[in-house]
Every structure is written in structure tokens, then in C-alpha cells.
Structure 1
Amino acid sequence: MNSQFWLASLVALAAALPAAADTAPGDVAYLDGAVAESLSGVAGDPAAGAKVMTTRSQGNCVACHQISAMPDVPFQGDIAPALDGVADRYEEAQLRGIVANAKMSFDGTFMPAFYKTTGFIRPGDDYTGKAAPEDLPPILSAQQIEDVVAYLLTLKE
């Protein structure tokens, strides 16, 4: 009976605690382009990050970047820096900032902001020639950003 009481108490306490919430795109804190805190509060999964990076409807990072660690991925781009050894060049917070919004780190970059919802000057409302009536959704979710960062951290020389 006593153990059931404690178990019920623990379940009630766990239910009362707030779940880890994603940082909203507008609330991301950039410091010199870097983002120190996880956007999702959950560790990234490198395998899921690799999938995001090679999936056309998601990040599709390989459209612009070459990644030698992915030799089976065809049609890798060469218009952006190769990602080989990127974990040796940047810290986790810097990589998170670059993936979320590279424009915060590199002036004039053509890399899209993957975690941004406002401030666009080109996207319109379904090919009408008019500005979108509200904020656009981010290209990637907070967890997808964390997954991509986790994969990038595996790319060492």
C-alpha cells in the first residue's frame, strides 16, 4: 500500500513538471552568431541529422555542401564549403547558430535561415505576388536543428 502511494505521488509530480519546450524562432539568443542553449532541450540524434541533411524536403544540405562521410549520397553540391572537419573548425554553439540562421554569423551568405519565421523579403502568398499574410513556418524544427548539429559534430578530420 505504501509503495503504491509513493508511485502515485511520483507520477503526479512528473505530470506537474513542465515538459521541455522548444525555443521559438523569435526567441533564439544569438551571441556573435552562436546559440549556446539547445533549441529543443533534447540532445540531437546524429542519424536523424544525417537524414535531414540529405532529404530534399528538409535541410537538403548536400545540395550545396560536399560531405565525404556520405559517399553514397549523389549530386553533392560544391557552391558552399565542404563540411569535412567542420567539428574541428566550429564549436557546438557556433554550429547551432549557423544552422539556425547563418546570416547571424556570415554577412552576405546565401545559406537559408532554417529556423526563422519573420523578416523575409521575397516569399509571397501562394504565387499571388503579394506578401505572405503572416509569419512563415521555419524550414526545420528545433529538434531537427539539434539533430543536424549532432551529426555535424561527428565530422572531424
Structure 2
Amino acid sequence: MTPLVLAALAAAPAAAQPAAVEGDAIPQSLTGRPGDPARGLALMADRQRSLCSLCHAGPFAPPHQQGTLAPDLRGIGARLNEGQLRLRVVDIKRLVPDSIMPSYARTEGFERGATAWQGKPVLTAAEIEDVIAYLATLKE
């Protein structure tokens, strides 16, 4: 087990817990409680906040607003468990260093990025848990 301490999550609202990576997953909730799938769906569909639908397709945005740069997320909850989903959202770069997907919680080690986002996570720990809760429902 490799500890992954994310300063941004530790400082974020919702009493974030240090995240421990086990293999290709972060098995434990970042907040100590499950997220809300309805809030996760709203975040996934929000092109200004989460940015998910800019690259991904799935049942969370109108078809004409879905991206094709990244994997389609339909059925992702059947392919990956919550811990695997969590690591991918928290810091995909640990698994795929050249991924274009942002690390939604990591705040350091980036060479490029808008000034407004520097030193800040894209999503809070609670918001990440909401997205995970929603993605876990996508079984088909």
C-alpha cells in the first residue's frame, strides 16, 4: 500500500481523509462517507465545473454535447469498482502519465494550467465522492 497524501483534499471541505493507493485503486472514501449519485450526475453534466462531458460520452449530457476524446463512460460501473474509479478521478496521471484528463484533486507537478486553477483542486473531496457514486451506477 502506497500512501498518497493530497494536500488539496486535506484542506478541502468535507473533512477529507488522506488517500491511500492500493494497486490501481483508492479503496476508501475521501470523506469517510458515500457520495450522492444525483449530485454526481449534475457535476458530470456541468461542462463548466467538472469538464467531464468535454471529452467523455455517457448518459449524463445531451449527445451533441458529449466528447469523443476519451472512453465512453457507459457501463464504467460494471468494469471498474469504486476504488478504481476514485483513483482515476483523483489522479489519472498515476496510471496513465500522458493522459489528457485532469487530475481532479492533485494540485502540484503541472507545467501548464490556467492561473485561476493553479494550486487548487478541480473538485473537492465531497464532489469527487459524488462523481464516484454516480459513475458506480453506470452498469450498462
Settle same-fold status: TM greater than 0.5.
Answer: yes
Q: Aligned pair count?
A: 127
CA separation of 1:51/1:39 partners in 2, compared to 1, >3 Å: closer, same or farther?
Answer: same
CA separation of 1:21/1:110 partners in 2, compared to 1, >3 Å: closer, same or farther?
Answer: same
User: In 1, Cα distance between the equivalents of 2:86 and 2:115?
Assistant: 29
Q: Kindly state the Cα deviation for residue 71 of structure 1 after the two structures are TM-superposed.
A: 5.7
Could you tell me the percent identity over the aligned residues? 39
Match of 2:52 in 1: 61
Structure with more strand by fraction: 2
Write the mapping of 1:65-76 to structure 2, written as runs, cut at 5 A: 65-67=56-58, 69-70=59-60, 72=62, 74-76=64-66
Q: Kindly state the Cα deviation for residue 125 of structure 1 after the two structures are TM-superposed.
A: 4.7
Q: Kindly state the Cα deviation for residue 113 of structure 1 after the two structures are TM-superposed.
A: 0.3
Contact 1:34-1:105 within 8 A present in 2 as well: no
Greater C-alpha radius of gyration:
1
**Residue ranges of structure 2 left out of the alignment (5+ in a row):** 1-13
Displacement over 4 Å in runs of 4+: none
**TM-score, L = length of structure 2:** 0.81
Aligned residue identity for 1:51: A
Aligned residue identity for 1:152: L
CA separation of 1:50/1:98 partners in 2, compared to 1, >3 Å: closer, same or farther?
Answer: same
Computed over aligned residues only, the root mean square deviation of the Cα atoms, in angstroms, reads: 2.1
**Residue ranges of structure 1 left out of the alignment (5+ in a row):** 1-19, 127-131
Matched, 1:38 2:29: yes
User: In 2, Cα distance between the equivalents of 1:53 and 1:70?
Assistant: 6
Q: Kindly state the Cα deviation for residue 73 of structure 1 after the two structures are TM-superposed.
A: 5.9
**TM-score, L = length of structure 1:** 0.73
